[in-house]
Amino acid sequence: MVPPMSFEARPIELHGHRVFYRRAGSGPPLVLIHGMLNSSRHWEAVARGLSSDYTVIAPDLIGHGDSATPRGDYSLGAHAAAIRDLLAAIGIDRATIVGHSLGGGVALQFFWQFPQRTERLVLISSGGLGREVSPMLRAAALPGMSGVLAVAAHRRWLDALWAAGARMRAKGRGQGIYLQAIARALRPLEQPGAREAFVQTLRSVIDVHGQRVSARDRLYLLGAMPTLVVWGDRDETIPLAHGREAHALIPGSRFATLPGAAHFPHLEDPEGLVLVLREFLDTSEPAQLDEADWASIVNRARQGAAAGGVTRARPASAGRTDRPR
C-alpha cells in the first residue's frame, strides 16, 4: 500500500528571514512557483499527481503564504534569487521550473539569471508576456490600495462573501463560484504585512496601464531550453493570446490549452494539468547549459540581430498540444 503523500510546510532560515516550502516525492526535481494571492498549498493536487516520479518543491515566495513579509525587494529577480538560494540550501542543484501567473515571470527570471540550474521551463497562464491584464489588477496598483484592501480583506466580510457564494452555488447559480474565488484570493491579505507585500509585488510588475514587465524581446533565447506554455482557455485575467504569441516566439516550444479552465488551471483542472505536464516531462530531455553555452547563445543572437537576421516567429499552431476534454 502506497503511504499518503506528505505536503506539509517546512520552515528554513534564509538571510535572516523565515521561508516556508513544501516537498513531496522522489525523483528528478520539479519546482512549482505560485502566483500572487496564492501560496505553495495551492499546488497540492498537482504535487499529488506528480510526486510518484518527481521530487516536487513548492516554495512560499517572500511576502506570500507563511513566509516572512519583510520590507525589501519584491521584484521578479529578487524572487528568482530567493528560489535559487532555497534550492541550494536543501541540496538541489538543477530542476525543471514551473511557474503560474506571477510565478511564470519569476520562472523566466530564474532562467535568465541561472540557466545552468534550469532543466526545463513551464509557463502556466504566465505574466510578463504582454501588456494586457484584468482591470481588477490594474486598479489594485493605484495609490491608496493598502487601505482599500484592509477593508476588503476583513475576516467577517470574507466569511460573509464565502457564505453568500455557497448559497448561490446551492441554488445552482454559477456566480457563486466567482464570489468564493474572490474570497479565497483575498483571504491571505488579512495581515497588514501580507497586504504591503502584495502591493509591492504587484507594483513591481503592473501599473494602471497594464503589465510593466515584458520578456518578449528575449523569448528567442529559450530555444536552448525545453519549454511548455499552458493556458486555461477561459482565462480573463491574462489573455490566452499572450500564450499563443509566446509559443510562436519561443523556438521549439510546446503549447497546450486546458478547456474550461480560467486563470488557475492548477486549482480548476489539476488532473488535466498533471496529464499535460507528464506528457511534456516524459517526452523531453532536460537541458544542461553552462556558462560557455549561455555566452554562445547570447552572442549568436546578438550577431544575428546585427546582421539583420532577427529570429522570426513561427505560426502559433506549430507544436500545439491542446488537450481535448
Among 102, 28, 112, residue whose Cα is nearest residue 59 = 102
Which neighbouring-strand residues pair with 18? 13
Which neighbouring-strand residues pair with 97? 31, 121
Pair 222, 253: CB distance under 8 Å: yes
Which among 34, 79, 242, 263 is annotated as catalytic?
A: 263
Backbone φ, ψ for residue 95 (5° rounding): -160, 160
What secondary structure does DSSP assign to 39-97, as a single string?
-GGGGHHHHHHHTTTSEEEEE--TTSTTS---SS--SHHHHHHHHHHHHHHTT---EEE
Pair 157, 151: CB distance under 8 Å: yes
Among 315, 4, 6, 258, residue whose Cα is nearest residue 122 = 258
Whether 101 is catalytic is yes
Which among 34, 39, 64, 235 is annotated as catalytic?
A: 235
Which among 40, 51, 67, 101 is annotated as catalytic?
A: 101
CA atoms of 127 and 102, how far apart (whole Å): 5
**210-211 vs 17-24, strand pairing mode:** unpaired
Whether 15 is catalytic is no
Whether 263 is catalytic is yes
Grid coordinates in use for 78?
529578487
CA atoms of 196 and 121, how far apart (whole Å): 30
Pair 19, 62: CB distance under 8 Å: yes
- Count the neighbouring beta carbons within 10 Å of the beta carbon of residue 138: 17
Positions marked catalytic: 101, 235, 263
